[in-house]
Structure 1
Amino acid sequence: MGNEFVTCIFLLLLFLMLDPGVSSNVLRLPSMDLVDQKEDDGHSSSHFHMNTVSLANYDPTFTVMKNIQVGKTIPVSFPYIKDLSPYQFLPREKTHHIPFSSKAIPELHRYFSVFPGSKQATAIEQTLKFCERDPPAGEATACLTSFESLTDYARGIIGSDSDIRIVRSSLISSSTPTLQNYTIMESKEILTRKVIPCHAEPYPYAVYYCHFQVNTDNKLFMVSLRGENGDWVDAVFLCHMDSSPWSVESKALIRLGLNPGESEVCHFFPAYDLVVVPQ
């Protein structure tokens, strides 16, 4: 399978990344950037439950753990993704010979047949620079390009003989509003002290930025939600239980109106991201 196939995958992935109807930013954690206000589906709030928050005044990016109590209704934004195949790892033998370094950008432009200055070239360059930055204090980070490298990285954290489990949110249908009110139908905690979130990066083939926060207490849930339109979503929900080390300028704290240490900070995962836990 040659670089023509990889380039086709890249174009599809880039389209999904840049489409404002999908997501404005998939590169950073713990954020899923604010959904553009044009994506509000305009549902009236007059028939909502009493514990419903108005869509017009609600930030769908971050929330707190009490908001996933069964029966509660909250606005949530899930991007529409037609096909997850661009987010599936290629085998290591398909990618190991391709340099993954900003020093090789001219070579990568030629290999993937992209023009310098194009959106595709810019995406490659930004992803490589992001992956090459120093990790935040107290975190073990890696940009992974194959399932084998994901397994090696996860076992280095979880344990060399451990089996791993990948959890991710389900896809929404094309008829589902990207932003609507959902009622919490069920919430199950995935009991583990080692949680490795991984986030899709724009690249010609699947690349995930994974990070593990050392000595940090996180709680992970699988939450079943029913939307106003009747559709169901099974979504990954992660809570960072100790926000005291965070900066007062943290976007998450600002959007929640909190100071560091006042509360946990939680968010749902879009279907293109994943979380690795022990089996």
Structure 2
Amino acid sequence: MKFHFFHIIIFLVLVIVTTNGEETLPPQLYWKSMLPNTPMPKAITNLLHPSGYWSEEKATWVDVGKGGVDVGVRKGDNEGSGSDVNVGVGHSDSPFDYLYAASETQLHDKPSVALFFLEKDLHHGTKLNLQFTKTTSNNEAKFLPKRVANSIPFSSNKVEYILNKLNIKKGSKDAQIVKNTISECEEHGIKGEEKSCVTSLESMVDFTASKLGKNVEAVSTQVNKESEFQEYTIAQEVKKLGEKNKAVVCHKENYPYAVFYCHKTDTTKVYSVPLEGVDGNRVKAVAVCHTDTSQWNPKHLAFQVLKVQPGTVPVCHFLPQDHVVWVSK
């Protein structure tokens, strides 16, 4: 099921004044003030509203929907079980949710299956069947200013209020997506993982700086053009990024406005991987390798694809271009 586009009215202001009279910086300037030596990756710039903050007096329709992401119903969720919802009880449809077993949809989804590979294969000459699609568009869900995002609850206890606030019809597909994303964000992470779902760019910067400091690099997969499912070859100059094995990985969630599931672990290696497709397409991919998978669900998609057991060998995967990886310089 695809996330259908819908509109909400959001009041955006050019300069937001806090209660004590201090100005709140626009997200671009906040980034520069916090991370002056860190270029902003395309995965971030694509989500900044092109018009900046709009006048508070002008209510504007902001298109915040995003397509192309399937959703499933969590175990114990009795709502939305009608024909409009793809029910996958007990499973997450995200290949980056390591607590859940693979669904039948995932097992037959070639692009998702192809994301995973073993670290021993991460070298020049390895051939992999992959598909890269551009996920950005003018209609993609954008970042809200932190103050606006903070004014909208993000809690399963406030779902009805959220739906009303965002003008989403109860019982609709969009309402189910909101419920599922909040549910995923509220669940406990795996052992040794520090996680947070951030609802603004400022919150993402704050979370990352609190875990890695301010001397960081932010990277994302860069795709020149969309491609069909095809063979790619790892080119020369595979490069390990960051110090030690510490990283913060932020996965884009399916939500009316930009929300990222960010998590930090000390058992993650990050690589920049150049790829060349048989059609000539070149991709500068970001790969993440997990050196400790002992806490993952034994029936996770990666184990079923690679035919390995949890905690035995490092498991790697490529990241879509709308995800962001942070590493210490």
TM-score by length of 1: 0.78
Q: 1:181 aligns to what SS in structure 2?
A: strand
Alignment pair present for 1:79 and 2:142: no
Q: Is the 1:74–1:182 contact (alpha carbons within 8 Å) kept by the matching residues of 2?
A: yes
The one-letter code sitting in structure 2 at the alignment partner of 1:118 is: S
* Residue 203 of structure 1, aligned match among 237, 255, 274: 255
Q: Is the 1:199–1:208 contact (alpha carbons within 8 Å) kept by the matching residues of 2?
A: yes
Provide the residue aligned with 2:26 in structure 1.
Answer: none
Measured against aligned partners, the alpha-carbon deviations of 1:22-69 in whole angstroms (never above 9, x if no partner) come to xx94473459955635x7xxxxxxxxxxxxxxxxxx941310123231
Provide the residue aligned with 1:105 in structure 2.
Answer: 159
Alignment pair present for 1:191 and 2:242: yes
Provide the residue aligned with 1:52 in structure 2.
Answer: none
> Structure 2 vs 1, CA of residues 119 and 145 (structure 1 numbering), >3 Å: closer, same or farther?
same
How far, CA to CA, are the matches of 1:5 and 1:28 in structure 2?
34
The one-letter code sitting in structure 2 at the alignment partner of 1:151 is: V
Alignment of 1:118-267 (within 5 A): 118-159=172-213, 162-174=214-226, 176-177=227-228, 179-186=229-236, 187-192=238-243, 193-213=245-265, 216-267=266-317
Length, aligned pairs only: 247
The one-letter code sitting in structure 2 at the alignment partner of 1:260 is: P
Higher relative contact order (CA 8 A, sep 6+): 1
> Structure 2 vs 1, CA of residues 115 and 247 (structure 1 numbering), >3 Å: closer, same or farther?
closer
Provide the residue aligned with 2:328 in structure 1.
Answer: 278
Q: 1:236 aligns to what SS in structure 2?
A: strand
The one-letter code sitting in structure 2 at the alignment partner of 1:8 is: D
How far, CA to CA, are the matches of 1:140 and 1:151 in structure 2?
15
Q: 1:211 aligns to what SS in structure 2?
A: strand
How far, CA to CA, are the matches of 1:28 and 1:35 in structure 2?
16
**Structure with the higher fraction of residues in helix conformation:** 1
Which consecutive residues of structure 1, in runs of 5 or more, have no partner in the other structure? 40-57
Measured against aligned partners, the alpha-carbon deviations of 1:75-110 in whole angstroms (never above 9, x if no partner) come to 123233243873653321331211111222112111
User: How many percent identity over aligned positions?
Assistant: 30
Q: Is the 2:190–2:296 contact (alpha carbons within 8 Å) kept by the matching residues of 1?
A: no
* Residue 109 of structure 2, aligned match among 36, 43, 62: 36
How far, CA to CA, are the matches of 2:328 and 2:139 in structure 1?
24
> Structure 2 vs 1, CA of residues 18 and 244 (structure 1 numbering), >3 Å: closer, same or farther?
closer
